Chains A and B, each alone.
Chain A
Amino acid sequence: MEMDPVLMSRLLTALTLGFHIIFATLGVGVPLMISIAEFIGIKKKDPHYLMLARRWARGFVITVAIGVVTGTAIGLQLSLLWPNFMQIAGNVISLPLFMEVFAFFFEAIFLGIYLYTWDRFKKPYTHWFLSLPVIIGGGLSAVFITTVNAFMNTPEGFTTGANGFATINPIDAMLNPATPTKVFHVLSSAYVTVAAILATIAAFSLLKKKTSEYHKKALKLTVTLTFIFALLTALAGDFSAKFLAEHQPEKLAAAEWHFETEEGADLILFGWLNDDNVPAGVIRLPGLLSFLAHGDFTSEVTGLEEFPEEERPPLWIHYMFDLMVAIGMFLAAVSLLYIIISKVKKWNEHNKWLLRLLVLMGPLAMLAIEFGWIFAEEGRQPWILRGYMTVEEAATSSPHVGLMFILFLGLYTVLGVLCVVILRRMFRNSPVEEELEKKYPAIEKGDNK
């Protein structure tokens, strides 16, 4: 059975990246959360927070390992599946890729040190300081890799001649128009997602009747962080929309089913397209698309009609866009609700229904990451390098991609299952109460020693 190498290359890349971004997101966000928890723990001399940092770090070891191996996989697959793309784009994007590896190297070194030196320094702040290079390294990896994706959307920093590139300025290429908003959006959404996932864990433990101080503090910290980063992500999303309206209008238009260029354009939520490609069953928010695109309710928004049919992205990305935004709103709303309820003395922020909503945050946030990523990639179709090279031209000609797809599907299934099994075993075998007592005996006896 021979399958179309282009289709299979797309599927295999989607498979690897779809799996990798889960762990990449954790890799960017978790170090920040660990660092915040450890800092509060040292500052307040509160063993609960120190224990939080320790346990998060322990789980992180597992996810980071999967992030590394899948990251290695996608790094190689870029050349294996898209050799024609890398032959051309490699001239430009190799610089950020190279820098990304450096940033990751830096992160890996300090992560190794951080994880194995919990009790090796006299001053607790020394150990905390080691978390900073991990955060910076992880953040910078995300920045550099995002510039590559930005470049694919709005390629700049080169001139073309008869045989490919005439001149190249790789720094300009990194600082292409898509970079600022994309970097902001990727970082803030990674942080909100990780905060939400950790909030899910805490809320889940509280639902399971583990009503200890430890879990309550964990919940308070993580939900507060979720709220802060959800607001930042909303801001980043707004900037991204304005960027799209200016530099990549076909992506925004496809996401919004906005076919005709018009002033005072409505924002369309959900619904479906009837046979004549007319949106039906939608929620219409008058003028809001114009506002989203240009910050003005009456401004003109470019419609899809202005682009040749073969250069339009698929219309189903509308759902990806809407789901991503809806989840973002949900995160901000639920975390705000928790904060309000916890401020009012009479109300109990640990009631069952609120906890159930909070449990939903983490998985939904990760789904939003996936939807947002699918939106970003599909919204660039048919291009791999917008305006220069299509996905079809870039793919390998090897007939064996289908078989490789099956192999990798098997690999990721095994890794995913093992990850869950090991994490569960790791935390079940050493419940937090037991560990707190062992590590900080004073805490159970009431601090009177």
Chain B
Amino acid sequence: MSYEIIGITVLWIFLYGYLIVASVDFGAGFFAYYAKVTKKDHIINQLISRYLSPVWEVTNVFFVFFFVGIVGFFPDSAYYYGTALLVPGSIAIILLAIRGSFYAFENYGSKQSNVYMFLYGATGLLIPASLSTALTLSEGGFIMEKDGVVSLKYLELFTSPYSWSVVFLAIVSVLFISATFLTFYAARANDTEALKLVRKYALFWATPTIIASLTTFIALGEHNRRHYSNMMDLWWVFGLSVGFFMIALALIYIGRYYGLAFISVMLQFFFAFFGYGASHLPYILDPYITIYEGATHESTGIALIVVFIAGLFLLIPSLIFLMKLFLFDADYVKGKK
């Protein structure tokens, strides 16, 4: 395998990792706010903050990894995306900053403020919406280079059905992933009240998720024929994704094996995400950057891969340690520690 393919695979794994852990976090923000508005916050907010407080920085780092990595492996992406995304990128940074500081200020800084709670919930939906736009742009047609000047065509972006379907898909997926995780976590904590509530959320958001997936699929067909037909060639990957979705839904419906249900959801998104990514290749930005022409020098690429592998040896044991302490320590989950 060429180092370009390894590089993009590594990055895609990080982005997938971010997709899962960040969705849990973003969705939880929305649910926490929703529960507060509907006066059910006493049931689930304790549960949410117990899980999220220790891990939010780790979540954030997945994202940083991705964008540092993509600039490293494919420096041209800094030029095109960097120039075009100044405004949306800056807005995303500000949203992330508001959200990141929420944890510190709200959880450690005593009394709850309604404004911050609202921002916490709102950013939970706005951040995935704005970040998903980068994927929309990668399909081509929105970023233009003319006479050496790169610009973003806002009008096309805001009037494109594909662009909106991606935003919709991002938001409902976040809520679905998060709700299934919280269901598992509540079951683990033997918190029946919370379980009842979050399980209802999970069942509710399942339908929009699958509908949004289909809509996006169709809209992509209108927008980028090449990518669409590549996806069709990988139909079985998407078939697996739908299969795992059905399994997850069935398990949550019968109300057992919530852990397995969450793993199925992870697999559902794993196959969809990698199917999407594989069929996107060789383009990183259609038509300007491909993984072959846009890649960095081999020496840098290999150095990055070596560091990545060495880093994993360091991080995976540490992450397992973290999870053992907070995620799988039954007493901690139940709030006894």
Could you tell me if B60 and A102 are in contact, using CB atoms closer than 8 angstroms? no
Interface residue? B297 (CB, 8 A): yes
In Å, the complex CA distance between A171 and B299 comes to: 10
Could you tell me if B68 and A97 are in contact, using CB atoms closer than 8 angstroms? yes
Residues on A with C-beta less than 8 A from B322 are 109, 112-113
Q: Mark B182-225, 1 if CB is under 8 A from A, else 0.
A: 00000000000000000000000000000000000000000000
Residues on B with C-beta less than 8 A from A76 are 67, 89, 92-93
In Å, the complex CA distance between A199 and B167 comes to: 50
A100 — nearest CB in chain B belongs to which residue? Answer: B68
Interface centre among B82, B104, B311 (most CB of A within 10 A): B82
Residues on A with C-beta less than 8 A from B92 are 76
Secondary structure of the A side of the interface?
helix
Residues on B with C-beta less than 8 A from A99 are 307, 311
Interface positions, chain A 106-133, Cβ under 8 Å from B, are: 106, 108-113, 115-117, 120, 133
Interface residue? A72 (CB, 8 A): yes
In Å, the complex CA distance between A75 and B71 comes to: 11
Could you tell me if A401 and B108 are in contact, using CB atoms closer than 8 angstroms? no
Contact with A418, one of B68, B69, B91, B101 (Cβ below 8 angstroms): B101
Interface bracket on B: 35 or more
Instruction: Give the shortest distance, in Å, between A176 (CB) and chain B (any CB).
Output: 15
Interface residue? B9 (CB, 8 A): no
Instruction: Give the shortest distance, in Å, between B135 (CB) and chain A (any CB).
Output: 16
A75 in contact with B67 given A170-B299, A422-B105, A426-B109 (CB within 8 Å): yes
Q: How many A-B residue pairs have CB under 8 A?
A: 213
Could you tell me if A404 and B303 are in contact, using CB atoms closer than 8 angstroms? no
Could you tell me if A91 and B300 are in contact, using CB atoms closer than 8 angstroms? yes
In Å, the complex CA distance between A258 and B75 comes to: 39
In Å, the complex CA distance between A393 and B69 comes to: 24
Interface residue? B233 (CB, 8 A): no
Contact with A109, one of B58, B60, B103, B296 (Cβ below 8 angstroms): B58
In Å, the complex CA distance between A425 and B110 comes to: 8
Residues on A with C-beta less than 8 A from B108 are 58, 61-62, 422, 426
Interface residue? A80 (CB, 8 A): yes
Could you tell me if A102 and B326 are in contact, using CB atoms closer than 8 angstroms? no
In Å, the complex CA distance between A54 and B55 comes to: 20
Interface centre among A64, A68, A116, A408 (most CB of B within 10 A): A68
Interface residue? B94 (CB, 8 A): yes
Residues of A within 8 A of B (CB): 58, 61-62, 64-66, 68-73, 75-84, 86-88, 90-92, 94-95, 97-102, 104-106, 108-113, 115-117, 120, 133, 165, 167-171, 396-398, 400-401, 403-404, 407-408, 411, 415, 418, 422, 425-426, 429
Known: A109-B315, A116-B53, A425-B110. 6 other contacts (CB 8 A): A79-B82, A83-B150, A87-B75, A94-B71, A95-B304, A396-B82
Could you write out 30 A-B pairs with CB less than 8 Å apart? A58-B108, A62-B108, A68-B100, A72-B63, A72-B64, A72-B96, A79-B81, A83-B83, A86-B75, A90-B78, A94-B71, A94-B73, A97-B71, A97-B72, A98-B65, A99-B311, A100-B68, A101-B61, A102-B314, A105-B61, A108-B58, A108-B61, A112-B326, A113-B322, A167-B297, A167-B299, A403-B87, A407-B94, A418-B105, A422-B109
